[in-house]
Every structure is written in structure tokens, then in C-alpha cells.
Amino acid sequence: MKAISIGLLGLGTVGSGVVQIIKKHQDKLMHQVGCPVVIKKVLVKDLNKERAVEIEEEQLTTNPDDILLDKEIDVVIEVMGGIDATKDYLITALRYGKHVVTANKDLMALHGTELLTVASEYGCDLFYEASVAGGIPILRSLVDGLASDRITQLMGIVNGTTNYILTKMSNEGRSYDEVLKEAQELGFAEADPTADVEGLDAARKMTILATLGFSMHIDLEDVKVSGISNVTEEDIRYGKQLGYTMKLIGHAHREGEKVEVSVAPTFLPNNHPLASVQNEYNAVYVYGEAVGETMFYGPGAGSLPTATAVVSDLVNVIKNLRLGVNGKSAVTPQYPKRLKDDSEKYSKYFLRIHVEDEVGVFAEITSIFAKNGVSFEKILQLPVKKNEVSEIVLVTHRTSISNYEQSLQELNDLSAVREIKSAYKVVR
């Protein structure tokens, strides 16, 4: 078989890892796919930038057509990021019969269905394993490994940057800003880290996971999202006192025919399997009706872990080429989308409230919750004398979002309540 020619879009953190792995593992690739793999051209923004890997000057280009329209290029690997222009590039590549591998969750969460349709129209593969949880082969596990089961729950730490920040804040008492900067320097964070810290990156990944896991087309706007930018060291400290660890958790749950998908900073009991996932590591807990509990763990970001997933997709493209079955593996969703409404979504909640230090305030608060059918599992009351406010920390029993939000609204209207300082989900 002739050498497989690659066009690489992007030579940053992930692109450099792809070049390294293809060079270093050439013998293994040759053994797996039976032909050499050659990177012909690499698209970058800045030709003069210093690169983390050795690359010939003539391999670099700033003109995407040098890759997209080159008849000799068999596979386009997209590791440049971006949405609209990148989507156009990939559609052009597919129309020119090129198979595509991408690490781009922003693009796949928004336009995955359209791109997969174009790919199958043109008999091309479009693989995107690296788009969720970096080096963990979770997409292939859902689509192939658990193909025979009915998955009812996916719960995961799917953003390395926020897990890195929360781990360092919790274990080393370091500040949010300092650790975010470190995550950027280490290459985990997105170019604009707002998507990481506000939960959007995790929401995009949960969209992809839920769509594959539940065989139901889930849109990004179906995911209820909140991020970690308002999490304080005090919240983490109070959580610790109550035996909890704070994580940014993506949760997709199917009950009957209906589903819910959310991303939120969440307190987990310290003995929960996801509580021990540290730093940039990711983990996805998957519950299937037949298999029961499974858990997938590994590095969720970074150059070589992510590149491993990219190059494994490339190996699958080449294997399909040998078998002549490219463009045949994508399966369209089986079920129509049915989302739960707020009265059908249940959780426990942690609340930290500042109230006037007066007699009877606590009774007023508990009566609001009682009226809405919300009861408490844990309560901490800590006087803060200098501001003449008391701090109350509550953990509720499981309750519906509607009852919980109604209670919050009534609490806010209570004159004795100065401020609801923080509110988080709590997982059993």
C-alpha cells in the first residue's frame, strides 16, 4: 500500500504532539496499517514562530488550500480550533474525498451532525475521539465497547483545566488566578480560558457524550451550565468540613425516555470515585443497565495524551481504507429528543447564606424550605460577629429543581437574608 499522506491543520499543543507521535511510532504505525504515514503539509498562522517539534520550512503553509485541494493528501487532521472557518475547511476536505480527524469539541458539539452527514455522503471517515477527555478512548467505548447496552447515566470530570484549578485550590490553598495561569502555561486551557472556567468546554463534551451514549441528538443549548469562576476558597473549606470535594461535574441522566444534561460545580462525598481524580486528569463514570458501573480514567488534556487519541483515529481511518469501508461507521441517533422539565430533575444542594444575626431567622428560613417540600440533611451555623451577620451552611435532601429554585426565590425576598453567598449541587 502506498504511503498515507497527511495534511495537518494546526501545530500548537496538540499538533506538535501529533507530529511527535507519528515520527516516534513510525514502526508501530507501519506494523498496524502496513504503510508509511507522512505529514505532507502543516497549516499555521505564523510561519516564523518557534516550534516545539522539528519541521521542514517547506512543510509549513498559511494557505489552507495547499492542504484542502491537494489531491495527494488522504487525511486531514484538524487541531487548530475555531468554529465557522474551520467547519468550511473540513467540509471542503470531505468534498475533496479526504478523511478527517479532529480534536475540536467546539465544532463537533455545534455542527457534528452536519459534518458527519457530509462525511457519509462523500464516503469519508470523520473521527473525533480526542474531542472528549483527551487521551481516554471514551467515544469508542460508548459506540463500540458498550454498543449492546442501554446507557442510563454518564457522569464525568471532562475539563482538565478546571479540575487542575480546583485540585490546587483545595489541596494547596492556592488562588484561582494563579492556578489558572499555570494551567494556561501547561497547555491545558483553551486559547480563551473563559470556555473552560465557565463550563462551556465541559458542556460541549457532555453534548457529544450524551448524544452518543443515549443515541439521541442533544444540542448544546439543552445543557444547563454553570462554571467555577465564582467558587471561593471558603466554599471549598466548608465543603471539606462536611466531608465533600468540589469538582466541575458533567452529568447526563436518562430516566424512562427522558434525559437531562448539566454541567455544574458539585460537591462529591470524599469517598466518591470521581473525588480522587486530581489535576488535569479526567474520568467518566458510565452506568449501563446490563453492565452496571464502569469508569474510564486518564489524562484529559495536554499535548501527547490528546495526540494519542488523534493518531489512533488516524490508524482507524487507514484500517478502513484497507478494508474499503470508509464513511460507513457513523450511526445516526435512534431516539427522538425528549428532555426532562425542572420538576423531574432531582438533586441535593449545598447552600451558604448570610443572614441577620437575629432571633427567629433560622425558623423563617426552615419554614420556607418546609413549605416547598425541601428538608435538610446537614446544617452548620457559624456566627460572624464583626459584620453582624450569621453564616448558615445547609445541605438539603434530594429535591426537584423547581422546589429548590422556588425556595431560593422566597429566601431572597426575606428581609433577614443578606445574601445567598453560594449554592452548589451535591452528589450522593
Residue 283, interface with ligand HSE (CB under 6 A)? no
Nearest Cα residue to 116 out of 153, 137, 145, 143: 143
Residue 40 designated active-site = no
Is 13 known to sit in a ligand binding site?
yes
Is 373 known to sit in a ligand binding site?
no
Nearest Cα residue to 402 out of 330, 349, 329: 349
| Candidates 27-35, 185-193, 270-278, 330-338; binding stretch for ligand HSE (CB under 6 A) | 185-193
What, of ligand NAP, ligand HSE, none, does residue 161 touch, CB below 5 to 8 Å by kind? ligand HSE
In angstroms, the CA 127 to CA 424 distance is: 35
Residue 301, interface with ligand HSE (CB under 6 A)? yes
In angstroms, the CA 132 to CA 206 distance is: 8
Phi, psi of 321 (to 5 degrees): -60, -45
DSSP letter assigned to residue 54: -
Q: Are 236 and 174 in contact (CB under 8 A)?
A: no
Residue 308, interface with ligand HSE (CB under 6 A)? no
**Minimal distance, residue 287 CB to ligand NAP, in Å:** 25
What, of ligand HSE, ligand NAP, none, does residue 81 touch, CB below 5 to 8 Å by kind? ligand NAP
Q: Are 128 and 104 in contact (CB under 8 A)?
A: yes
| Candidates 98-106, 315-323, 365-373, 384-392; binding stretch for ligand NAP (CB under 6 A) | 98-106
Q: Which residues of 122-146 are buried (b: 16+ CB within 10 A; e: fewer)?
A: bebbbbbbbbbbbbbbbbbbbbebb
In angstroms, the CA 96 to CA 246 distance is: 47
| Candidates 141-149, 187-195, 290-298, 356-364; binding stretch for ligand HSE (CB under 6 A) | 187-195
The interface with ligand NAP within residues 122-151 (CB under 6 A) comprises 130, 134
Residue 161, interface with ligand HSE (CB under 6 A)? yes
Is 187 known to sit in a ligand binding site?
no
Residue 188, interface with ligand NAP (CB under 6 A)? yes
Tell me which of 205, 340, 348, 425 is the catalytic residue: 205
**Other CB atoms closer than 10 Å to residue 34's CB: what's the count?**
11
Residue 128, interface with ligand HSE (CB under 6 A)? no
Q: By CB under 6 A, name the binding residues for ligand NAP.
A: 10-15, 43-46, 49, 79-82, 103-105, 130, 134, 187-188, 190-191, 301-302, 306
User: Any idea which residues carry the catalytic annotation?
Assistant: 205
